[in-house]
Amino acid sequence: MPSRILFAAAAAGLALAAATAAPARADRPAPLRRLSDSDLEAYASAKFDKRAMMFKRVALGRHRGLPVVAIHPCGDVCPVYTRRIVHYDIPVADCARRGGIVREELMPRGPAVARQPFCLPAILARPKPPRP
């Protein structure tokens, strides 16, 4: 019995060592992919699993040199009210100078909501055409 425990511990130690022994470049994040206007429109308009994505933040890539993220806040009735906001990950104060458009979005704050400004890519800040 003790030999089985020692063997299991040794195997676990080797597995841990193999998992942590990575090339020197593994500690750097992968470069973010370039995003086109159509990439952003497609991602922002695509359906998503509200339960799987609620409260998550996803780095999507770079659009015109700026980092783009998608956040998935949820209000008091989750996951039903989970929504997706795709925006530039830059300070709002720099938004207009860098080609974005500031738009306030309603963000859940406990049982209420509050307006929060985000820097959106211009392609996503355009008014959506009415549905037929």
pLDDT digits over 48-83, tens only?
Answer: 999 999 999 999 999 999 999 999 999 888 899 899
pLDDT of residue 77: 85
pLDDT of residue 118: 97
Q: How far apart are the C-alpha atoms of 50 and 52, rounded to whole Å?
A: 6
Count other Cβ atoms within 10 Å, centred on residue 42: 11
Domains of the chain: which residue ranges? 37-125
Q: Is 103 buried (19+), middle (13-18) or exposed (0-12) by CB count in 10 A?
A: middle
